[in-house]
Amino acid sequence: MKKAKGMLIGAMGIFGTIGLFVRYIPLPSSAIALCRGVLGLVFLGIIMLITRHKPDWAAIRRNLPVLVISGAAMGFNWILLFESYKYTTVATATVCYYLAPLLLLLASPLLGEKLTAKRLLCVGVALLGLVFVSGITQGKLPSFQEITGIVFGISAAVLYASVMFLNKKLTPIGAYDKTILQLGSASLVLLPYLLLTENITHFELTALQSGVLLVVGIVHTGIAYWLYFGSMKDLNTQTIAVFSYLDPVIAVLLSALILKEPITLSSIFGSVLILGSALYSELPEKK
């Protein structure tokens, strides 16, 4: 149990630093997302070969359509999140991104779940938090750039929520099989998108920037997902959900401490409302 919790905390710690690294990669978001998918796919493929993991082909065939669609959504979700980093602070982008669990709550009736008063309250509080994060309460309208970053962050949250929604539609399938298929689908969709929208012959990276990109692909995708899914078999869903909120907390702290990005009392209060309501929504109902 302690080892599994350590693996999960390690994964969340890695996920929480991705914005810090993406900021220093001078490539279009689609190129970063594609590299992340391919490098993560290769790393997990090597892990599966070393551990002699045998894919469950029956489960893969049964879930293939949903895996392909969710993988494509995951790829474009990365693009929108990385675009959000370019227009607003990492803290604001990450907090907006974590509206995803609450958006999933709104779709819960489609999964046969009841939309309770508690869930509606959590969504309402999160939306109030978004108002504070935007800076409107400070008596001035946010800049066009800030609004753009927030819109990208919320759009990424919508796609992230759709990935979580589709994952709930999957019939039993191994975590590694699911992740390999989703990363592969994301890469296959992102490749033609990148070729159609960008001139890749103009891409240039220094040795340091190439190293940062490798870190994002191998560490923030391959190793992080390996730790994340490796911890799942020994932890319950509730524990995983609660520990997942280490990611945005770390991102917010690094945004202020390392990137020296401006953070106001209004945005802090809004972040607490959004993340607090999302976390509270994950806690079990009292009988």
Determine, yes or no, domain membership for 287. Answer: no
Determine, yes or no, domain membership for 254. Answer: yes
Determine, yes or no, domain membership for 155. Answer: yes
Mean of the per-residue pLDDT values for the chain? 87
Determine, yes or no, domain membership for 197. Answer: yes
Determine, yes or no, domain membership for 174. Answer: yes
Determine, yes or no, domain membership for 139. Answer: yes
Its pTM stands at: 0.88
- The per-residue pLDDT for 148 is 95
> For every one of its 287 residues, what pLDDT tens digit does the chain have, with 9 covering 90 and above?
778 888 888 998 999 999 999 999 999 999 999 999 999 999 999 988 998 989 999 999 999 999 999 999 999 999 999 999 999 989 889 989 988 888 888 888 887 877 788 878 888 888 888 888 876 666 666 788 989 999 999 999 999 999 988 988 888 888 889 889 999 999 999 999 999 999 888 888 999 999 999 999 999 998 998 888 778 767 776 677 777 788 888 888 888 888 888 877 888 888 888 888 888 887 776 65
- The per-residue pLDDT for 131 is 82
Determine, yes or no, domain membership for 79. Answer: yes
pLDDT tens by residue, 87-112:
998 988 998 998 888 888 888 888 78
pLDDT tens by residue, 119-173:
788 888 888 888 888 766 666 667 889 899 999 999 999 999 999 889 888 888 8
SS3 letters across the chain: CHHHHHHHHHHHHHHHCHHHHHCCCCCCHHHHHHHHHHHHHHHHHHHHHHCCCCCCHHHHHHHHHHHHHHHHHHHHHHHHHHHHHHHCCHHHHHHHHCCHHHHHHHCHHHHCCCCCHHHHHHHHHHHHHHHHHHCHHHCCCCCHHHHHHHHHHHHHHHHHHHHHHHHHCCCCCCHHHHHHHHHHHHHHHHHHHHHHHCCHHHCCCCHHHHHHHHHHHHHHHHHHHHHHHHHHCCCCHHHHHHHCCHHHHHHHHHHHHCCCCCCCHHHHHHHHHHHHHHHHHHCCCCC
Determine, yes or no, domain membership for 92. Answer: yes
Could you tell me the residue range of the domain that residue 144 belongs to? Answer: 2-282
Number of domains in the chain: 1
